[in-house]
Structure 1
Amino acid sequence: MPAPQRNLAEAIPAAALAPRLVRPRVDVTLDETRIVNPQIFDQVVKIRPRPIVLLNTCPAGGVHDHNGSAAYTLACDDPQARGQPDWRWCRKCQGLAYGGGVAQSRCPRGGQHDHTGSAAYTVAMNDPAAPGQPGWRWCHKCQGLAYGGGAPGPCPAGGQHDHGGSGAYAVPMNDPNAPGQTGWRWCRKCQGLAYAGDTGLSREELALPVAPGQEVTDTVTYEPAVPGTPPMHLPQYRLARRGTTGTGGYEIRFGQAPDGAPILTLRLEKQRAPQIPAGTATAELPHEILLRLTYRLVLAGGGGATKELAFQEIGETADGLSLVATLRFSGPAERDQALAAVTNLEGGAGLLITRSVRVAIPVVGSPNRFRPVTRALEQVAEPNPFFFNPDLNRDLFEGPRPGAGQLGLSPHQVAQGDRFHTYWQDTARPNTAYYLPNAFRLARRGKPAPFLPVVATRLAPGATGPENAAMVLEFVATPFTDPDRLAAARQALAAKLLPAGASPDDIVFEPLQVEKASLWMALPGAVGFTERPGALIDLRSGLTHVETLPLPAFQAVYDALMGGSVALMRGEVRVDLGSGVTDRIPFEARFDTMNGNLVEVQAAPGLAPGSFALTLTNAIESPLTVASLGGLLRAAGQDVAATIGEFSQPLPAELAPGASLSCVLTPAAPAPAEAQPVLDLDGLRVRPDAAGLWEVILDTTTPNEISRTIRVKLFPAMFEAPDGNAAEPALAVLVQFERGTTLELTPEKPEAELRLPIPIGSIVLRSAAGPSGYRYRCSVIRRSSRATDSEWREDSSDLLVPLLPKEG
C-alpha cells in the first residue's frame, strides 16, 4: 500500500497528493500471450492465435447441440469404402449433405450448402451388414443426413425433414478402430449429423491443470494434473518489505551491476488471492513472468506519455516464495529518469506483471473433455502508485544520491510529402524516437488460416420487427505505420539527434502511448464527428469498440465497409498532446484495406540452383486480385536480387477463396545456401465479398432473425371450379413460405395470419426478395387433382393475396 498521506505531506506539496493509479493496460493483440522464460533470463515472444469458432448453424436456431451424442466416424477420401459416395461437408453449417449432382440444396445459414474445401465422404447404404448405427436418412429437401429413428427434426428448407425416397444409412458409432475422420456428432435439436471439430482430449491425455470453467483467473483453484496432489493456485505479487514485521522499507534499490552498468533490483513476494479460502492447502500453478516498470513522460505541450522498461533478469529465491528481478538501464540518464519517476507522484510509476499459464478448460457440451489454452493475466503490483518517498526510503539507492532525472520528451518534426510528422526524443535515450501511426485499420486474425476479420455483429435483443431492429457491431482496429515514412525519418533524425559520424541505423523507433486518446466517428446521418466514449484504445497495439446501430444505419455502415461509400463511415483517433494540441490519426473502416495476412505462402526448392517454387493460396473469405508480385532472397541480413516468373496464370490473376497461384523465384546472382525468399505483396488487392464477409462476422450463437406479421387472404372466387368442371371446386389452398409455416386456407376459412421469420442477413445484403421481402408458393387441392407452383413467387406486402398456380 502507498505510504500514509501524513508522511507524503512532509516531502511534497499538498497540490500533488492526488495519486496516479496505474491500471492494467488495454492490450488489443491478436496473440494470446507474451512469455518470459525466467530460467534463461531471456524474453521470448510466443504466438498462439485464438481458435476460430466453427460456424455450426442449426436449422432449429442457434448452434448445433451435441449433448448426449455418440462419437461418429465417416469414411473419408477412401475410394475402397463401401457405400454411397459423393457426400460432402458444408463449410457454412458444418453439416453433412449429399452433393452428387444435386441441383438444389438448403443450408441453415441461407442459400445452398457450400462444399468448398470438403473431403469426399462415403456412407454405408442399404447394407444390413454395415457396422454402426442404423436409422440415418437423407432429406430430399435440404440434402442433409439426419437421424430418422424418431420424430423428424426441423429442416432448413422449411417444416420438418422429409425422408421420402431415402435409402437406409448406417454410420460407425463409438468405434475407435473405425477408419475415417472422427469428430462427427449428432445434433439433438435438428437430428442432423454435423462436424464438431476438436472435441477435446481427456484429462490424462492433456496432463495439464484443469480450470473450473471457461475463465482463467488468479481467484480460483485448479485441479492438478497429477491425481492425489493438492489443488493449484496462480499467485499474485507485491513488492516485498524489509524486516520480519513488514514495517520496514521496500526491497527495491537503484545501484550498479558488477560491470558498472546502472541497474534496478527488487524482490516480489508471492501471495494467494483473498478469494481463495484461508486454510485451503494449495500448490503453485506453473507460470512464466513478464515484468515491466512503467512511468509517465511529459510531452512538450504538457500532455503525458507512457514509457515501459522490461526487466531482463527474473529469478526465484531458494525457498520459492519470492522473485528477484533486475532491470539494466541504457545508461545513467535513464537510471536517473526512472528514479525521478518513482520518487514523484507525478511520475505515475507502476509495476506491471504479466503471468502466463498453460491450463486445460472444459469443452462445452462434451463431458470430461478438455482443450489446452495459454492465457496471459496482467496484474499491477502493490504499492500502486509505485511511489517511494526518498526521505522515508533511504535505501532506495546506493552511493551518492543521483542527479535530477529528466521526465520530458523533446519533439522534432520531419516532413513527408505535404505533411509534417512529429517524433519525440527520449531525453534519457537520445537515440530513441517515439512516433504515432499513420492510421488505424480493421484487423484480421493471425495464423492459422483463414485470416478472418476481427469483427463480429449480432442482432440486438428486443427486436420485434424491422422497424425496431438494431445491430451490435464489435471490431478491433490495429495501428498501421508506413515503413517508407520511418525510413525517411531515420535519415533526418540521425542528422538532428546523433553525433557526427553515427549511423542512421542507431535510431530506434518506439510507438508513443499517451494518457489521453479518444475515438471519434461520423456515422450515417450524423453531422460531423462525435466521440465514442466506450472505445478502449492503446496506441501501440490497437483499439476495440462496440457500436449499436439502428438497422437502416447498420445497413449503410455495412455498405461503407465494402469500400464503396467511405463518406458514410469515417473516424479518427484524437491524441491529446497537452496545451490544447491534438493530433488526429485516421481510422480506416474498410474491408478492402485491413491489417493482417491475405495469403498463405509455401516454398520448396526450385529446379534451378538457389531458386524457390512458391505457392500463394488465398486464405481470406473474399476474392483477391494479384496485380503484381515482387521478391528477393535474404541471408544473414543481406539481400540478393531475384526475379519472379513462370506464373501458373498471367498477372493480374484472380484468386477465389482457397485458390492458389504458383510461381518461381530465381536469384539474379548466386545466393548463399541458407538464403530464404522474401515476397513483396503490395500488389495484392482485396475485392470484398459482402455475402462471404457476412457469413464470417455474424455471431451465430445468438438469434439472427426478426419477424413480421403477414396476413394471407383469398377471395371466394378463387375457390371456384375451373371453367367447364363445376364438380371440382378448390377444397383447400396451401400457401407455403420459404422460411416459416404452411398455411391452409379453405372456403370456410379464407384468411389466416402468421409471424414470418426474416433472416437479418437478407435485409443487410438486400436479398433478391427485397430487404423485407419473402418468397412463397401455392398448391391448389381439388377433389381429383393438385396443382403446385414450380417456382417460388416473391412479395413484400403485409397483406398477401397470393397468385395461384396455373392449371390444366
Structure 2
Amino acid sequence: MLDRFRVPQARRFDWLDPVRVPLVPPVRRRLPIIWPDPVIPEWRRLWPPDPLGFPPLRPPNGLLRQEVTVPLAPTWAPADTDVYESADGLSSLVLPRYELAFDQVGVLDEPRVRIEERAGVPTMLITLLRTALPPGMGELPHVLSVSLTYRVPELVDVPFPEAVREDGGAVVVAALPLTSPGLRQQLLAAMSSLEAKPAVVVRRGVTVAIPNPMLLIEPPPPQTWTETALLMEWTAPPAPLLLSDAQRMRLGGGAAPGTVQGMRRLRIQHQGRGHPFWQDPARPERFYFLPDRFQLGRLPGSGRRPALDIRATSAAREEDLRVTVEFLARPVVSQERLAAAVPALAEEARRMGSQRPVTMEILADAQPVLRLGLPQGGAAPSALTERPQAQVDLETGVTHAETFTLEDFRLVHAALFGASLNVMNGEVRAGADDIPLELRLDHTAGDVLELTVLSVGAEELAARLVNIVESPVRVDRLEAAAVGGGLRVPLTVGGLPAGKTLAPREEAEITLAPTPLLPDGGAIALDQSGVTVLVDKAAIWASVFDDTAKPSLTREISVEAVPALFGGPGGDRVAVFVVTVEGASGSVRLSETELRAITTVRVPVRPLLVGGPIPPLRYRTETVWQSGGIGVSAWRETDATILLPVKTPPGSTS
C-alpha cells in the first residue's frame, strides 16, 4: 500500500489531536493533514531560547500583516544572510557582520587591540568595523555584544561589558576593564597561542516577525506572524586572532616569541620578615601585595558586634546535636610596612624605566584556598584541613560556615576566647604564599573606638573617644594622622594615659596636635592596633548566638514507684500518684498496677554549648488517696532522670 502522502523532511500526521475537537468533521477515511515543507527546520538559536525547538501542531495565534510593527523575516528559521522586510514594507534590510580593524605598524598590519587607562583602571579595547551593506539595502536594527573566546582546552568566553557604536554604527569599540593583572596576562597569552584558537565573537540581538506555519486546509487561513527575539552569533575575521610578538610585548611584556612575561616577584624585608610584592611588567610603577593576616571582623552599625553567627539545631540526644559557626574574617594590612617598602619599590620602577609615583593594591589572586584547624572527635587538630567551598577574597575577606558536633563545638567555643592556639586558626593559601588567619574574639579586625571632633583651636583640636563595642577595651597605644590630598600627616595624641581602660560606651576627652589643615574629603585616621579588647564573654555570647529558633534537647524522664509506697495509715491506701514535670508534655499517673511511666522534657541547649550543666528538673506530686483525700507536694528540683513520687498525706501541701 502506497503512502497516502510523502513530503520531504516532514513528519506524517494522520489525526493530529484525538482529544480536542478535530479540524474537519470525522469521516470514514480521514484525510491527512500536513505541514508545508519543511516542518522540522534546523534548531535555531533563540533569544531567549525556545524550549520546544519545533513548530506547534496547530498554527499559533499571531499578528496579521498590517499589525506587525517590527521587520519581517522571510522564513520561519531566519539567518543573518537573509533579506528582511521593513514593517512598512517600503525597504529591504540585512543584518550586518563585523570584522576586526587593522592598523599598519611598520611593514605589519596589526589588529586594533590596545590597552589604555580609564579612570585609573587598565582597559583592553578591541575595534571592529561593520562590513559594507549590499546596494539598496538598509541595516536591520539590532543590539550587539562582544566576547573574546579561546580554549584552554575547554572553551572560555570572556564578555566585554561595554560595546560602543561610533560613526553611525560603522565602528564598534568593545572595552574590557582588566581588574586584575592576571586577566591581562591570561588574555595576551591566549592571543599568542595558535592552539588556544582565540576569536572575537559578535552576538547580535534582533526582534523580527516570523511567519507562522500554515495548515493546508480549505479555505486557507490568512498568514499570521509572531514577534520573536533572536540572537545571532558571528565570529569576526580573522580567526584565530593572533598578535605579533612586538604587539604582545607592547601590551603586556614578553621575553620570547609565544610567551607573555609574568609579573616580577620581589621580596622586601620589614622587621625581620620578608614580604612578597609583584611588579606589573607593563606598568612598572604598579605593585601588588598580600595582606599581613586575616582576623575575625566586626560588623558595621551600632555595637559593631563580631562578624560571627552561631546556630544550633534541636535534637533528641546530645550525640545528635549540631552547631553551625559562620564567620567573616577581614584582611589586615600594615600601613607602616607598605610605607617602608616605597623607596625600594620606587627604585625598582625607575630601573624598569618608569618615573611615575609608586601605586600599590592587594593582589587579586583568582583561587585562594582556606586551610583551617578543625577539631575531630573532641580532640584538637593535628593538621590543617582545606575548605575549598569557603568564599575567599584577598581584598574583602573570608566567609565560611562550619558545622560541629557538641563535643567539637565546645573546643571551638573555648578557642574563640583564646584557650587554644591551633583550633579555628589557619591560613589562606594564595599561590605559593600562606597568609595567617586568626579567629579570636580578643583580636578582631575593625575599629572599636569612635572619634568625634569637639572643637578646633589654633594649635590643637579637642576630640572625644567612645568605646563602641560590647566589651571593655584597654588603650595601650593610640596613633592618629590627618589624611587627605594624597598626604598623611602624623598627629600627637594627648590626654590619654597608656593603659587606659574604657568600659562599653565610656568616653574619654583627648587632644590632637598640631591642628591639621584638612582638604576637602580629608579625615583623621586612628591606628587602633594598640587597642586590646578585654572580652566580656557573656555580652559577646549574647550578641553572636542566634536563639531565634529556641533550639532544645529532648530528655527522657522515667517516673517509678515501688508497691510499698502505696500503703497508708489506718488502712487507707494511695489510689494514684500524679507527677507533673515542668516542661513536659503532660502529667504521668502511677498506680499499683502501673508502677512506671515515661515522659519527655525539652531543655534549652544554650547552656550545653558553653560547657554548662543542664538546668535541673522541677516536679511535684499529687497523691490521690482511696478515701478521697488529695495531698500535694512542694515543687522539687533534681538533676536525675529517674524520679520517685513524693507521698503526701491528704490535705497536705508540703
Q: Indicate whether 1:662 and 2:512 are aligned.
A: no
Is it true that 1:713 corresponds to 2:560 in the alignment? yes
Tell me the equivalent position of 1:799.
Answer: 642
The whole-number CA distance in structure 1 between the counterparts of 2:199 and 2:530 is: 44
Q: Which residue of 2 aligns with 1:523?
A: 374
CA contact (8 A) 2:198 2:240 kept: no
| Counterpart check, 1:597 vs 2:597 | no
**Structure 1 position 625 matched with structure 2 position 466:** no
2:443 corresponds to 1:570:
no
Counterpart contact for 2:552–2:603, Cα < 8 Å? yes
Q: Counterpart in 2 of 1:426?
A: 280
Work out whether residues 573 and 585 of structure 1, in 8 Å CA contact, stay in contact via their aligned partners in 2.
yes
Q: Is structure 2 residue 308 aligned with structure 1 residue 455? A: yes
* Residue identity matched to 1:518: V
Paired position in structure 1 for 2:609: 764
Distance 2:183 2:595 in 1: 88
Aligned counterpart, 2:433:
583
Deviations 1:397-444 (A, max 9, x none): 9x9897574241111111233432221211111112222222222222
Q: Do 1:734 and 1:743's aligned partners in 2 also have CA atoms closer than 8 Å?
A: yes
CA–CA distance in 1 between the matches of 2:574 and 2:422?
59
Residues 117-173 of structure 1, C-alpha deviations (whole Å, 9 max, x = no match): xxxxxxxxxxxxxxxxxxxxxxxxxxxxxxxxxxxxxxxxxxxxxxxxxxxxxxxxx
- 1:465 maps to 2:313: no
Provide Cα deviations, 1:93-120, integer angstroms capped at 9, x if missing partner: xxxxxxxxxxxxxxxxxxxxxxxxxxxx
Q: CA 1:671–1:413 in 2, change beyond 3 Å: closer, same or farther?
A: closer
Q: Residues 348 and 427 (structure 1 numbering): CA distance in 2 closer, same or farther, change over 3 Å?
A: farther
Q: Distance in 1 between matches of 2:148 and 2:329?
A: 24
Unaligned runs of 5+ in 2: 1-47, 50-79, 82-92, 102-110, 129-142, 151-157, 201-230, 254-259
Question: Shift of residue 466 of structure 1?
Answer: 0.7
Q: 1:681 to 1:740 in 2, by over 3 A?
A: farther
2:466 counterpart of 1:639: no
**Displacement of 1:473:** 2.6
- Aligned CA distance change for structure 1 residues 413 and 549 (closer, same or farther; 3 Å): same
Deviations 1:466-501 (A, max 9, x none): 122222333232322222222222233333343599
What residue in structure 2 maps to residue 612 of structure 1?
462
1:482 equivalent in alignment to 2:334? yes
Moved more, 480-489 or 726-735: 726-735
CA–CA distance in structure 1, aligned partners of residues 642 and 192 of structure 2: 74
Could you tell me which residue of structure 2 aligns to residue 31 of structure 1? none
Map 1:546-557 onto structure 2 (within 5 A): 546-557=401-412
Distance 1:265-1:518 versus aligned 2 partners, 3 A rule: closer
| Corresponding residue of 1:776 | 618
Q: 1:554 to 1:256 in 2, by over 3 A?
A: closer
Equivalents in 1 of 2:440, 2:197: separation in Å? 37
CA distance in 2 between partners of 1:760 and 1:542 (Å): 31
1:82 corresponds to:
none
Letter in 1 for 2:507: L
Output the amino acid matched with 1:660. Answer: E
Deviation by residue 1:164-200 (Cα, 9 ceiling, x = unmatched): xxxxxxxxxxxxxxxxxxxxxxxxxxxxxxxxxxxxx
Compared with structure 1, are the counterparts of its residues 653 and 491 closer, same or farther at alpha carbon in structure 2 (3 Å cutoff)?
same
**8 Å contact kept, 2:590–2:597:** no
254, 261, 266: which one aligns with 2:113: 254
- 1:736 matches 2:588: no
Provide the rounded CA distance (Å) in 2 between the counterparts of 1:316 and 1:764: 62
Aligned residue identity for 2:473: L
Letter paired with 2:359: V
SS in 1 for 2:98: coil
Instruction: Classify the secondary structure of the residue corresponding to 1:464.
Output: coil
**Counterpart position of 2:191:** 343
Give the equivalent residue in structure 2 for 1:696.
543
Deviations 1:224-269 (A, max 9, x none): xxxxxxxxxxxxxxxxx9996364336894359999x99744589x
- Secondary structure at the counterpart of residue 491 of structure 1: helix
Q: How far off its partner does 1:337 sit?
A: 6.3
| 8 A Cα contact 2:160 2:175, kept in partner | no
* Gap runs ≥5 in structure 1: 1-217, 220-240, 269-283, 285-290, 297-307, 352-381, 577-581
What is the one-letter code of the residue matched to 2:587? Answer: L
Contact 2:252/2:281, CA 8 A, preserved across alignment = no
Amino acid at match of 1:661: E
Change (3 A) 1:593 1:318: farther
Q: Distance in 2 between matches of 1:328 and 1:250?
A: 19
What's the CA shift string for 1:633-653, capped at 9, x where partnerless? 556535263333279xx9532
Q: TM (normalized to structure 1)?
A: 0.48
* CA drift at 1:335: 13
Q: Distance in 2 between matches of 1:441 and 1:348?
A: 44
* Matched residue, 1:16: none
CA 443–263 in structure 1, closer or farther in 2 if over 3 Å, else same: closer
Decide whether aligned partners of structure 1 residues 244 and 700 sit closer, same or farther in structure 2, where only a CA change above 3 A counts: farther
Alignment of 1:216-235 (within 5 A): none
8 Å Cα contact 2:160-2:174 kept in structure 1: no
Over the aligned positions, Cα root-mean-square deviation in angstroms equals: 5.4
The whole-number CA distance in structure 2 between the counterparts of 1:294 and 1:445 is 39
In the comparison of the two structures, how many residue pairs are matched? 477
CA, structure 1 residues 403+506, in 2 after alignment: closer, same or farther (shift >3 Å)? closer
Residues 620-666 of structure 1, C-alpha deviation per residue, up to 9 Å, x if partnerless?
A: x444334444435556535263333279xx9532423xx22231324
Pair 1:547–1:508, CA change in 2 (3 A): same
> Match for 1:254: what amino acid?
V
1:640, 1:671 within 8 Å by CA — same for their partners in 2?
no
Separation in 2 of the partners of 1:558 and 1:746? 43
Deviations 1:567-604 (A, max 9, x none): 3333222233xxxxx32222212222222233444433
Q: How does 1:359-374 map to 2 (within 5 A)?
A: none
Q: Answer with 1 or 2: which has the greater Rg.
A: 2
The residue number in structure 2 matching 1:653 is 501
Note if contact 2:556-2:601 (Cα within 8 Å) is conserved in structure 1: yes
Higher relative contact order (CA 8 A, sep 6+): 1
Give the structure 2 partner of residue 514 of structure 1: 365
Structure 2 length as normaliser, TM-score? 0.58
Alignment partners' CA distance in 2, 1:473 and 1:611 = 44
Aligned counterparts of 1:539 and 1:646: Cα–Cα separation in 2 = 35
Question: Could you tell me whether the CA contact under 8 Å between 1:610 and 1:673 is conserved in 2?
Answer: no
The 1:257–1:551 alpha-carbon spacing in structure 2 relative to 1, beyond 3 Å, is: closer
2:637 aligned partner, one-letter code: R
Identity %: 25
- Whether the 8 Å CA contact 2:633–2:646 is kept in 1: the answer is no
Change (3 A) 1:676 1:744: same
CA distance in 1, matches of 2:605, 2:425: 24
Name the aligned partner's letter for residue 743 of structure 1. S
Please give the residue correspondences for 1:350-361 in structure 2 after superposition, counting only pairs within 5 Å.
none
